[in-house]
Amino acid sequence: MTPADRLLAGALRHSALRATALLLLTAASAGLGLALPAALGHTLDLLLDHRPAAGWLTLCAVLTCLIVLLDALDGLLTGTTDARGTAWIRRRLTRHLLAAGPRATERYGTGDLVTRVVGNATHAGTAPTALAASVAAVLTPVGALAALALVDVWTAVAFLLGMPLLALLLRAFARDTGDCVGRYQESQGDMAGRLVEAVGGARTIAAAGTQRREAARILAPLPGLAGHGHRMWHVLGRSTAQAAMLVPLLQIAVLCVAGVRLSQGALTVGALLAASRYAALATGVGQIVGRLNSLVHARAAARRIAEALEVPAMPYGRRQLGAGDGTLKLHGVTVRRGDRAVLRGLDLTVPGGTSLAVVGRSGTGKSVLAAVAGRLADPDSGMITLDDVPLRDLSHDALRRAVGYAFERPALLGTTLRDTLTLGSYAPEREEVEAAAEAACAAPFIHRLPDGYATPCADAPLSGGELQRLGLARAFAHAERLLVLDDATSSLDTVTELNVTHALLHDVKAGTRIVIAHRAATAARADLVAWLDDGRIRALAPHAELWELPAYRALFATAPKETAHV
């Protein structure tokens, strides 16, 4: 089985009881639908012979009512089963993407992933009901053909002569539709990715006055999307037109043979009526095509979801950290992004209790170093240890309790600000959270809000600097041994940054701190500076010592007269 088929099989197992009930329901409806023409034909013969037919008329009415009732139950069960199947696929994909972490967004764009979680999951979630309905859709023509043979074998022979053409029609429809549906969904993902980028950069677009140009960029895949959509409709229309020509010919052939048999006395008028109804049911290509179309959409969507599920989740070990001061060591660490080595055989030791500033020109791998230092990502080769324990060997909770992160653009996750600050593998005590907010200079603006820490995130009008302070507070409250700040103070004013840096050096639990620095003042306050250049450590020394080097000063583009303030 392909990964997509395994995914659909899992969805089918999840909805097994409901899918089975739906299958039995549709099969029962199909059986009643097959019984109705025979009952109608026999009732007609009784009426034409002027014999009592009240019981058979009642039977026909009961069969009709049951068919209507079963169809209503079918609609209700189909809707609830689709919803459950979609929810199961969405939960599985969402959990996997979160477990994979940054790897997922590195391989696929954010908008593309959103399309897979939202739109593609909806199509894939209908697979159990589409499969059950497809079985019933096949049972009806097969049963009708068998009933036609029972009415008169020659009518069935007439119908069978056209069956090869009908099978070729269905096969061509499934093949052509599957290709265009897959391409259509890929184009949707491309457009969604462009739209997410534009929404994230809305202020830049507005400031540049490039709304029309950006709209054109977002909609650039639209002609391709329209082309794939038109092709789908073309395939569907062509198949429908071919079926519209073939199906009446088959029905006419059956009716011609039935008429001849009627003239020969081999069939009654009621049997002719039944044969005509069974011929119509046996040529129910429309239902089969519709069910096939649903299955094709579900399978194409499942392929895209399965691609995202193939992104490997971050594996964790079972070890715990023993006693230690937070010494971090990187041995021969190499990280690749495509064909480019961002970090190349990097060796670095950060003694426990040390604050280390990482500096370097843009693109030299500072954020990549920050990511692998706390295992948001794994290096392609090399080893990273914390207090002599490889990060790969640590359990998930042990790693996340030991290492904390703060980013340039923190996300407000949770219902309230307190939820954001306590977000983590464990929840700090209230006193720890409030102390961390004080250290990060976040407490003053939190107290100014009407509900303080209980303020809903959606109702908190926060500036970029205030968001960064919340991110810093969350990291301060959680990190026990290692704290990594990836450009997490870029939006702070000078006074606030000075206060936060003082707290970082003296008031946080984590003894070892790594700061991605872009300002000379930030680097000056650290114990050591790691100068990153071309994927390697060019120098490791205090800021004052490195400041004597012209190339180092050029990193900050700072005039000599400003060095006294650093």
Greater confidence (279 vs 202) lies with 279
Confidence check: pLDDT of 79 > 80: yes
Instruction: Give the residues across from 357 on adjacent strands.
Output: 515, 529
Greater confidence (203 vs 427) lies with 427
116: DSSP letter: I
Confidence band for 408, pLDDT divided at 50, 70 and 90: confident
pLDDT, the chain, mean: 84
Cβ neighbours of 485 (radius 10 Å): 28
Q: Single out the residue in 241, 274, 309 at which a domain terminates.
A: 309
Q: Does 551 fall in a domain? A: yes
Q: Does 319 fall in a domain? A: no
Same domain, 246 and 347: no
Same domain, 287 and 422: no
Q: Does 512 fall in a domain? A: yes
Same domain, 252 and 286: yes
Q: Does 465 fall in a domain? A: yes
Q: Does 315 fall in a domain? A: no
Same domain, 292 and 438: no
Q: Does 556 fall in a domain? A: yes
Same domain, 219 and 95: yes
Same domain, 299 and 337: no
Q: Find the mean pLDDT for residues 252-268.
A: 82
d(CA 476, CA 291): 55
Q: Does 317 fall in a domain? A: no
Q: Find the mean pLDDT for residues 258-286.
A: 80
Q: Scan for tokens 């198949």, then name that residue.
A: 239
Confidence check: pLDDT of 289 > 90: no
Same domain, 172 and 221: yes
Same domain, 341 and 430: yes
Is 17 in a helix, a strand, or coil? helix
d(CA 370, CA 417): 26
- For residue 25, give every residue at least 6 positions away whose Cβ sits within 8 Å of its Cβ, in sequence order, or none: 70, 73, 74, 77
Confidence band for 373, pLDDT divided at 50, 70 and 90: very high
Decide if 96 contacts 308 (C-beta within 8 A): yes
d(CA 526, CA 520): 10
For residue 395, the enclosing domain spans 328-565
Same domain, 287 and 394: no
pLDDT in tens, 494-548: 778 778 877 777 778 778 999 998 888 888 888 999 999 988 999 999 999 999 9
Q: Which of 386-390, 405-409, 493-497 shows the lowest mean pLDDT across its residues?
A: 493-497
- How do strand 381-386 and strand 328-337 relate by DSSP bridges? antiparallel
Same domain, 351 and 286: no
Q: Single out the residue in 274, 309, 344 at which a domain terminates.
A: 309
Q: Does 428 fall in a domain? A: yes
Domain count for the chain: 2
Q: Single out the residue in 278, 309, 340 at which a domain terminates.
A: 309
Q: What is the CATH number of the domain that holds 546?
A: 3.40.50.300
User: So what's the pLDDT on residue 390?
Assistant: 94
